């Protein structure tokens, strides 16, 4: 299983005294924008491991009051919630109840498990065909 860590580029703040500085200061007064990302994939694909990697990489940005099965991060002006969805066959039917709240999907694929690539393709295809997922960004983690 590979690793791709992506949560959005960090912004650089410009020099004090410039128009850009005042614009940034103005943004800081706004409440953080809440973003929910669903972490999906087959059972044993590495979803929980990827989330743990992200938590380690962004340790200083992990918020402590997350619900079980969720990770909350403060990244720049975004408050990102990662929802770790169980991947077992019987759990997948419950995924759709999360689609409407999601801003994007992170689909984890174990590229070393060739025997299950076709199963993963079908599962991802079914997810993407759901109307509540249509048009939302997808990150494929191999
Ligand atoms: N070799 C290898 N093993 C990994 C890697 N990532 C995760 N694993 C192992 O794969 C197993 C499953 O990983 P999880 O992260 O629990 O998988 P999951 O997708 O959360 O599985 P479910 O919660 O059951 O849906 C664990 O034993 C991990 O230690 C990796 O990059 N390489
Ligand atoms: Mg898991």
pLDDT at position 30, please?
84
Check: pTM over 0.75? Answer yes or no.
Answer: yes
Which of 96, 120, 118, 94 has the alpha carbon at shortest distance from 108?
120
User: How many A from CA of 107 to the centre of ligand 2?
Assistant: 12
Q: Are the C-beta atoms of residues 95 and 27 closer than 8 Å to each other?
A: no
DSSP string, 50-110: HHHHHHHHTGGGEES-PPTTEEEEEETTEEEEEEE---STTTGGGTHHHHTT-SEEEEE--
User: Which residue in the block uniquely carries the two structure tokens 């924008």?
Assistant: 33
Q: What is the tens place of the pLDDT at every residue in 82-131?
A: 999 999 999 999 999 999 999 999 999 999 999 999 999 999 999 999 99
Q: Which domains does the chain have, with CATH numbers?
A: 32-141 (3.40.50.300)
Ligand 1 centre to CA of 5 (Å) is: 16
For ion ligand 2, residues whose CB falls within 5 Å:
47-48
Mark the binding-site residues, compressed into ranges: 41-48, 87
Atom of ligand 1 nearest to the CA of 3: 31
């Amino acid at each position: 299983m590979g690793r791709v860590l992506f949560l959005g580029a960090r912004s650089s703040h410009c020099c004090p005294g410039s128009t850009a500085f005042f614009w940034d200061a103005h943004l800081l007064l706004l409440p953080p924008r809440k973003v929910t990302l669903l972490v999906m994939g087959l059972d044993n694909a590495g979803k929980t491991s990827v989330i743990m990697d992200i938590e380690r990489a962004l340790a200083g940005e992990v918020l402590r009051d997350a619900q079980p099965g969720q990770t909350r991060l403060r990244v720049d002006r975004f408050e990102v919630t990662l929802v770790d969805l169980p991947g077992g066959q019987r759990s997948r039917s419950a995924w759709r109840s999360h689609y409407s709240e999601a801003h994007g999907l992170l689909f984890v694929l174990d590229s070393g498990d060739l025997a299950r690539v076709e199963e993963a393709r079908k599962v991802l295809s079914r997810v993407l065909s759901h109307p509540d997922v249509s048009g939302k960004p997808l990150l494929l983690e191999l």
